[in-house]
Structure 1
Amino acid sequence: MGDIKVFISSVQREFACERRLLCDYIRTDSLLGRFFVPFIFEDMPASEVSAQKAYLAQAAESHIYLGIFGTQYGYEDSEGVSPTEREYDTAKAHFVHRLVYTLRTESKREPKEQVFVKKVEQELVRRSFTTYEELRTAVYNSLIDYLEQKEFIRKAPFDAAAHPVATYDDIDPERVRTFINRAKEKRNFPLTFADGMEKIFSGIHVLTDDGRLTNSALLLFAKDPQRFFRTSEVRCAQFYGTKVEKPIRNYQVFAGSLFEMIDKAVGFVMSRIDARVGTRDHSADAPVDYELPESAVAEAIANAVAHRDYTSNASVQVMLFRDRVEIWNPGRLPDGFTVQKLREMHSSEPTNPVIAHPLFLAGYIEHLGTGTTDLIAACEQYGLQTPEFYQAEDFRTVIYRKTKVSDPDEKVTNSSEKVTNLDKKVTNLGGKVTKHGGKGDKMRLTAKQQKVLEFCNEMPRTAQEILDMLGVKNQTKTRQQYTTKLVMMGMLRPTTTASHDPNRKYITSHGERDD
């Protein structure tokens, strides 16, 4: 049952039957009964307090005052005021939401009742009725309107619904600027930051028709999205074996905007899987070949963030096992979709279409329904087992790693520079890098590498900023030493997936929450 108290008021003798029927209707209706608790005088238990005082106290404590007015004014107290008008005035004085329904009749109202009704008409919009059926329908519509106004229920999808209290002061301009730059690069987005926040938000459809900020605007661009949506986060865990069991090798909770959560979660996976550093035969920078296709990992995580159920108390989860990566999101496939359909070309029917559009503009997802087929193709081109999809209480994507993966307890030797912790060693032979940079690892670092980790601890930094801080030249060798190597060791991670972006930033990898 709900806890929104509805105080039903009328002249006792005139609408006694209607009040009882209406009370029973609200209590037993499958929707209204979930939210509202109706109250009528007849249900009040015996008390030493006078009936009038007790009834006025109930009116003051209610969330909704529901008045039914007819032709009679009713009993008058010593000051010539009826209990019905006292109840109305009490509800008004305590700022109770008021709903009033007047009988449509050819009979003349009593003079005081006529004055009372005119007073009410000047203060709020009333509805009229002739029969009980009309009254019941009018009350139902009014209560549904109340639920929508208070955001208990929504006609619009979650991401398209207006947030009741958010303003532009809650929006981070830098997050908007970053999005504009990326959308221009990826999709040739026509607007610029100079066009202003309202025009930009209108252009990407994150405003309601009357110009209010939607939930999607906050998830994408708020200074603190988790203040509005606490479970909008991605939980990432790395396990030693192939099952969910303790000890957990590394665990992080990523918050921030949807864009940032995707970038951070992808960085979590890519910085903890095997990678091979190639030669510089064709480029000044040595290429890094990851064990898994970065595009597939990014697609799976972006889909989970874009299509999750944001009304759920659960979060997106990314779990890295020795033999696979699992991405879970609280949500279900659209009606008519099956996991088999995801393996074929299909239409695009995003769960959160308003959220999906900015993610598409920024290059995180595709609009054409090719995301999952591209994911499958990328993995198969890598020679990996075909990814799998599962729909149960949550939706799950499984990307399989190569059959032979690095043993986290294996001891190996680094031919160029020995890096050890308490009982493990990292090997770099023939360009193959196997890293074990979990939370408990204590790798031997140079003084400058330690300085890099301290420099990147509070906020992400570009490679140029890192090298400037160290006072060294921007050369391939120095970038390898102070960014790539630390990424391979799992101690530094990129905040974006664009590996060739000169503005790519790096942040120290922690074992706990990263906002």
Structure 2
Amino acid sequence: MPESQNTEWKSRWKDEYLEWICGYANAQGGKIYIGCDDSGKIVGVPNACKLLEDIPNKVRDAMGIIVGVNLMNESGKEYIEIDVPPYPIGISCKGIYYYRSGSTRQILTGPALEAFLMRKRGATWDNLPLPAFSLDDVDDETVKHFKQWAARKGRIDQSVLDEPKDVLMEKLHLMNGPYLTNAAMLLFSKDPEKWQLGAYVKIGYFETDADLLYQDEIHGSILEQIDKIVELVYLKYMKAKITYEGMQRIERYFVPEEALREALLNSLCHKRYQSGVPIQISVYEDKLYIANCGCLPESWTLENLMGKHASSPYNPNIAHVFYLAGFIESWGRGIEKICAACQKDGVPQPEYTINPGDIMIKFTAPEERIVRVTEKVTEKVTEKVTDKEQELLILLTEDPGYTMPQLAERLRLSRKTVAARLKKLKEAGLIQRIGSDRKGYWKLSNQDRCNPH
């Protein structure tokens, strides 16, 4: 029988195995067999009777807990079974907290240790009181928007939405005693970073892993962030494959909007905000990553995550407000909806990677959806323009039919600024306008160097 998440085979006893016992006690429990090789074959242990006395004492002295230590015998060979139950409180081994994750032993420190101890106490970070955050810091405009979203969805009684904001905060479970909570701060503060570093989203466009072409940051209430992120990703970062059916223009992105929105909502609900690290969205011409400092629920594996499961948000109070606003459901169907949206749109299923410090989702573009824009501008062209003008030139290479308002919207700039940059590109001999402002198009003068692939 091979080793597993809950079973370890050891040929002889070492005191360092106390750390493994601690890890089991803090996770789901498990068994360690002393006197077995790595395949589980019984090889026996010569000092079994002595270990039967020593191990319980060592465990008690190092951790203050009791484990089952049993003498086993098979074919005349004695070996020891150590049966470790899961403990409802955090257990340390000589002052250090260990945790069994998969088949590895991890040392818990910093935010991970804080989150672990809170879980053991039945508390969550988003429900911790934040005395420095008061009702005066609750943004009235964000409260107004929440009331509008919640009223449309109908998941909360209108009489609650009509309450003043102090009563509303209490009804939304955003009070802990006399204080507003971390969740209230993230949801309803105009500037949550005043109280919690990293409470924003960073977006970057990469040519290669080492070459960041441009980037943006989305700040403010996490309730308000989601629409801003989606809008920015589609307007500025992700390139649509453009086709025409007769006179109708068809734009198709390689990540369906429903899938992207659901993935972002998952990140906002499950993030370990105490890490101080922003959610990071990395966009390439053929893939998109969302990296989030989060963790799976205790004892979950990637298989649990991808299968049907109950809702278990890391920040339940944040998730509750998102649910009332109509942003999410409460049935743990987020990943199912992401996969269904990708399947419906004919793009590959997303890939999840679980790292010790974060969870990453990757969307990959099928070949027919890739718009290759990173090879358009050669070094000779680049020398003539600034980075901002090059960004505009890339957009025109992607779609020469862009109008001035569309360019301004994609770049999130004023029309006046876009007009000034277009003028510089025309003066440099790189572009010219063919036809009218409304029905014409942009011709790139360096077509031999700037043609789409």
TM-score bin (small chain):
0.5 to 0.7
Q: Following superposition of structure 1 onto structure 2, how do residues 104-503 of structure 1 map, counting pairs within 5 Å?
A: 156-191=123-158, 193-208=161-176, 210-241=177-208, 244-246=209-211, 248-271=212-235, 272-275=237-240, 289-393=252-356, 394-404=358-368, 405-409=370-374, 411=376, 424=394, 425-428=396-399
- Structure 1: how far apart are the matches of 2:217 and 2:319? 22
Q: Distance in 1 between matches of 2:161 and 2:215?
A: 36
The DSSP-based 3-state class of the residue aligned with 1:390 is: strand
Q: Is the 8 A contact 2:308 2:333 kept in 1?
A: yes
Q: Residue 240 of structure 1 aligns to a residue in which SS?
A: strand
Quote how far apart the aligned CAs of 1:409 are: 3.6
Q: CA deviation at 1:427?
A: 4.8
CA contact (8 A) 2:142 2:188 kept: yes
Distance 2:198 2:296 in 1: 20
Aligned residue type for 1:206: L
* Offset of residue 240 of structure 1: 1.6
Residues 335 and 249 of structure 1, relative CA distance in 2, 3 Å threshold: same
* In 2, Cα distance between equivalents of 1:226 and 1:215: 11
Secondary structure class of the residue paired with 1:251: strand
Q: Give the Cα–Cα distance (whole angstroms) in 2 for the partners of residues 450 and 280 of structure 1.
A: 30
Count of residues in correspondence between the two structures:
294
The one-letter amino acid of 1:320's match is V
Residues 129-178 of structure 1 show CA distances to partners (whole Å, capped at 9, x for unaligned) of: xxxxxxxxxxxxxxxxxx9xxx9x98621111111222111111111110
What is the distance in 2 between the residues matched to 1:429 and 1:276? 13
CA spacing shift, 1:251–1:337, aligned 2, 3 Å:
same
2:281 touches 2:291 (CA, 8 Å); kept in 1? yes
2:49 equivalent in structure 1: none
Amino acid at match of 2:335: T
Q: 1:341 to 1:442 in 2, by over 3 A?
A: closer
**For residue 499 of structure 1, what is the aligned residue in structure 2?**
none
How far the C-alpha of 1:369 sits from its partner, in A, is 0.9
Contact kept in structure 2, 1:408 and 1:436, CA below 8 Å = no
Checking the alignment, whether the CA contact within 8 Å between 1:160 and 1:354 is kept in structure 2 is yes
Equivalent AA in structure 2 for residue 406 of structure 1: V
Q: 1:180, 1:189 within 8 Å by CA — same for their partners in 2?
A: no
Provide the C-alpha distance between the structure 1 equivalents of 2:182 and 2:213, rounded to a whole number of angstroms. Answer: 35
Output the TM-score relative to the length of structure 2: 0.56
Which residue type is aligned with residue 372 of structure 2?
D
C-alpha distance in structure 2 between counterparts of 1:287 and 1:194, whole Å = 43
> What secondary structure does 1:232 align onto?
coil
Cross-structure match for 2:50: none
* Mapping for residues 53-92 of structure 1, pairs under 5 Å: none
In the aligned structure 1, how far is the partner of 2:244 from the partner of 2:157? 39
1:437 CA drift (Å) = 9.0
Q: Could you tell me how far 1:410 is from its partner in structure 2? A: 5.2
Maintained 8 Å contact 1:319/1:326: yes
Q: How many Å apart are 1:406 and its aligned residue?
A: 1.3
**SS of alignment partner, residue 231 of structure 1:** coil
Whole-Å separation in 1 of the counterparts to 2:352 and 2:401: 36
Q: CA RMSD in A?
A: 4.2
Give the secondary structure class of the aligned counterpart of 1:252. strand
Tell me if the contact between 2:240 and 2:371 (Cα under 8 Å) persists in the aligned partners.
Answer: no
Give the counterpart letter for 1:186 in structure 2: K
Quick one: percent identity of the two aligned structures? Answer: 28
Amino acid at match of 1:351: Y
1:217 offset after TM fit, Å?
0.4
1:206 and 1:171 mapped to 2: Cα distance? 12
Secondary structure in 1 aligned to 2:203? strand
CA-CA distance at 1:377 after TM superposition: 1.1
SS in 1 for 2:151: helix
1: CA distance between counterparts of 2:250 and 2:152? 23
Q: Which has the larger radius of gyration?
A: 1
265 and 278 in structure 1: CA distance in 2 versus 1, 3 angstrom threshold: same
1:307–1:395: structure 2 CA closer, same or farther, 3 Å change rule? same
Show structure 1 runs of 5+ residues with no match. 1-28, 35-146, 413-419, 452-479, 486-515
Amino acid at match of 2:239: D
Q: 1:442 to 1:299 in 2, by over 3 A?
A: closer
* Displacement of 1:342: 2.5
Q: Which letter does structure 2 place at the counterpart of 1:161?
A: L
CA contact (8 A) 2:254 2:364 kept: no
Shift in alpha-carbon separation, 1:223–1:154, aligned structure 2, 3 A: farther
- Higher fraction of strand: 2
Output one character per residue of 1:418-470: Cα deviation in whole Å (capped at 9) or x when no partner.
xx955644354899xxx99999x999x9659759xxxxxxxxxxxxxxxxxxx
Question: How many Å apart are 1:239 and its aligned residue?
Answer: 0.6
- Contact map agreement 1:249 1:438 (CA 8 A) in 2: no
Structure 2, unaligned runs of 5 or more: 1-90, 97-113, 378-387, 421-436, 442-453
